[in-house]
């Protein structure tokens, strides 16, 4: 049985580390492809990003190493109709098996292969006699397709090369997926910052069910009395965050995480009269496959998350506007009634009219309709 040498394994690990640091898989640095070619003892190589449905989607962007751009495009045009490896790859993709195949596996007769139009008109001018082709992906889908080529004097890709390809494909897939997740996280943070700025909010904090810090933007940490923001991420003050929160917010968060007596669609609440003259809007972030997170939005005393133009657009009466603002501050029906000097029943009556005018079903949807 063929085994990989320590040198081969070290090379694969080094290449996967470079892949994780690359800007995107469409632009692997040339030194990385140089290392890949040495690993597979190849004369040239190509990489294509692609979809996981090889029946419906063609190859996407591709580029080559020691292969011209015109040849890369030509290879893409010929791949689905002429390359004998394609059917084998498609079959393995349908069965969700590792996509690894070489021309020696796909071609029963070397004589027929050498005399084929595909070899004579396309591969031979590029000095490609043998190739190993494999997809890179995981359970979430295929990330791309590699092809490494050898000239006739280099011999065939043997069993050890296939072992290399299996380890290489799994390592590269893991590295690219980690980089993709990291990029997605950065994009989401950028989007959230824009949305928060649009709503006149500059600071927020996200906590998990154990009150550990997940994310923090702006001066949310200093508003809790934590001067060194880095301490939040080291674990030194993780439980300290819980103790730094006002009692009513801490108790409310405990309720949210335990889902005691509240709807998952109506969890937002604003807490006033806190230290440093700030207001904190607390809400629950429901996640599909993970425990929920708590979102704490720090509102300045002068901040108004309700858009006056939205209030006017829905033709809300002055009293309805007052109640709508109270809802967006997170006040309960009883708190609104006490603040506005009306009965809880009258407050509910106004709320019904507000929901009808704004075409929403609950308080969270009302906030989304009326916020800046």
Residues of the chain with CATH 3.30.450.20: 199-300
Q: How confident is the model over 333-363, as pLDDT tens digits? A: 888 888 888 999 999 999 999 999 999 888 8
Backbone angles phi, psi at 146, to 5 degrees: -105, 145
Helix H or strand E segment including 240: helix 238-244
CATH, range 199-300: 3.30.450.20
**CATH architecture label of 6-179:** 2-Layer Sandwich (3.30)
Helix, strand, coil shares of the chain, percent, nearest 5, are: 50, 15, 30
- pLDDT given at position 302: 47
Tokens for 15, please give them.
């290449």
What is the distance between the alpha carbons of residues 269 and 335, in angstroms, rounded to a whole number?
12
The residue whose two tokens read 């065939």 is 156
Q: Determine if residue 196 is left, alpha or beta; phi over 0 gives left, psi from -120 to 50 gives alpha, anything else beta.
A: alpha
Beta partners for residue 132, in sequence order: 102, 148
Q: Edge-to-edge strands of the sheet including 269-271?
A: 213-217, 203-207, 293-300, 278-285, 269-271
Phi, psi values for residue 289, rounded to 5°: -120, 15
Query: Do 305 and 200 meet the contact criterion of CB atoms below 8 Å apart?
Result: yes
CATH number of 308-370: 1.10.10.10
Report the C-alpha gap between 5 and 3 in whole angstroms: 6
Beta bridge partners of 147: 46, 133
pTM: 0.53
d(CA 104, CA 97): 19
**Which residue is associated with the tokens 């049985």?**
1
**Which of 126, 171, 157 minimizes the C-alpha distance to 41?**
157
- 132: region left, alpha or beta (phi > 0 left; psi from -120 to 50 alpha): beta
Q: What is the pLDDT of residue 110?
A: 65
The residue count of the chain comes to: 372
| Angle, CA of 159, 140 and 85, to the nearest 5° | 35
Three-class DSSP category at 294: strand
Could you give the residue range(s) of every CATH 3.30.450.80 domain in the chain? Answer: 6-179
Per DSSP, the residues of 198-221 read HTT--EEEEE-TT--EEEEETTHH
Domain with CATH 1.10.10.10 in the chain: 308-370
The H-or-E segment that residue 258 falls in is helix 247-258
Q: φ and ψ at 311, to 5 degrees?
A: -60, -45
Written as tens digits, the pLDDT of the chain (372 aa) is 467 888 898 888 888 887 777 655 555 667 788 899 999 999 998 887 765 555 555 556 677 888 887 777 776 666 666 666 666 666 666 655 556 666 766 665 666 777 877 788 778 888 888 888 887 776 666 677 888 999 988 888 888 898 898 888 888 888 877 877 777 777 777 776 666 665 566 778 888 888 888 877 777 767 766 655 545 554 444 555 777 788 888 888 888 887 754 445 567 777 876 665 677 888 888 777 678 888 888 776 545 567 677 787 888 888 898 888 888 777 788 888 888 889 999 999 999 999 999 998 888 788 778 865
């Amino acid at each position: 049985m063929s085994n990989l040498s320590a040198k081969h394994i070290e090379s694969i690990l080094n290449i996967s580390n470079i892949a994780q640091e690359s800007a995107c898989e469409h632009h692997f640095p040339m030194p990385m492809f140089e290392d890949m070619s040495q690993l597979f003892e190849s004369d040239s190589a190509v990489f294509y990003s692609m979809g996981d449905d090889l029946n419906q989607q063609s190859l996407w962007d591709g580029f080559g190493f020691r292969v011209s751009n015109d040849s890369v495009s030509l290879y893409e045009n010929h791949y689905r109709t002429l390359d004998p490896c394609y059917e084998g790859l498609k079959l393995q993709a349908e069965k969700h098996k590792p996509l690894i195949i070489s021309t020696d596996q796909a071609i029963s007769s070397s004589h027929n292969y050498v005399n084929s139009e595909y070899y004579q008109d396309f591969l031979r001018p590029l000095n490609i006699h043998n190739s190993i082709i494999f997809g890179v992906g995981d359970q979430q889908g295929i990330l791309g397709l590699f092809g490494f080529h050898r000239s006739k004097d280099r011999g065939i890709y043997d069993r050890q090369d296939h072992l290399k390809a299996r380890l290489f494909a799994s390592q590269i897939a893991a590295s690219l997926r980690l980089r993709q997740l990291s990029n997605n996280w950065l994009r989401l943070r950028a989007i959230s910052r824009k949305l928060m700025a649009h709503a006149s909010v500059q600071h927020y904090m996200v906590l998990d069910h154990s009150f550990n810090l997940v994310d923090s933007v702006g001066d949310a940490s200093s508003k809790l009395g934590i001067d060194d923001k880095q301490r939040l991420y080291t674990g030194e003050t993780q439980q300290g965050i819980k103790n730094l929160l006002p009692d009513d917010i801490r108790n409310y968060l405990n309720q949210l995480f335990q889902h005691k007596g509240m709807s998952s669609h109506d969890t937002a609440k604003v807490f006033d009269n806190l230290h440093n003259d700030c207001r904190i809007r607390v809400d629950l972030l429901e996640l599909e496959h993970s425990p929920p997170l708590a979102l704490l939005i720090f509102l300045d005393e002068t901040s108004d998350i309700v858009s006056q133009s939205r209030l006017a657009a829905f033709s809300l009466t002055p009293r309805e506007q007052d109640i709508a603002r109270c809802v967006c501050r997170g006040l309960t029906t009883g708190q609104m009634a006490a603040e506005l000097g009306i009965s809880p029943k009258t407050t509910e009556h106004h709320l019904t009219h507000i929901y009808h005018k704004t075409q929403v079903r609950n308080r969270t949807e009302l906030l989304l309709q009326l916020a800046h």
